[in-house]
Amino acid sequence: MASNESGTISIDYTNTYIPREVRFWILLPFNIISLACSLFQLYHLLTKRVLRIALNNHSIIAIIFAGLCSQLIDMPFFIIYLRLGYVWPQTSGFCRFW
């Protein structure tokens, strides 16, 4: 808490601490739901010919594909880090990759 010249008290909420276990359980279900939604959208955009050949959907497909790659590669490593508390596997190659 900090007070300024006018006597009002302001609280800084930007540095609040959320435990690793809580962040893990918040991220895990949202990541699963997000993965299912991305796969569902990508499936419908790629299987329906009208949607697939529309030029404006090509950028949407690329964005969904990039997000899906992030969900399948980066997020599991971060979730494992939150669960264990350390980077796994602990190799120099993996740390350079991540």
pLDDT tens digits, one per residue of 48-89: 999 999 999 999 999 999 999 999 999 999 999 989 988 888
pLDDT band of residue 98 (cuts 50, 70, 90) is confident
Angle at 40 between CA 52 and CA 24, to 5 degrees: 140
Q: What is the pLDDT of residues 19-35, one digit of tens each?
A: 889 999 999 999 999 99
pTM of the model: 0.73
User: Distance from CA of residue 57 to its chain's centroid?
Assistant: 23
Flag whether pLDDT at 6 surpasses 80: no
* CB 45 within 8 Å of CB 51: yes
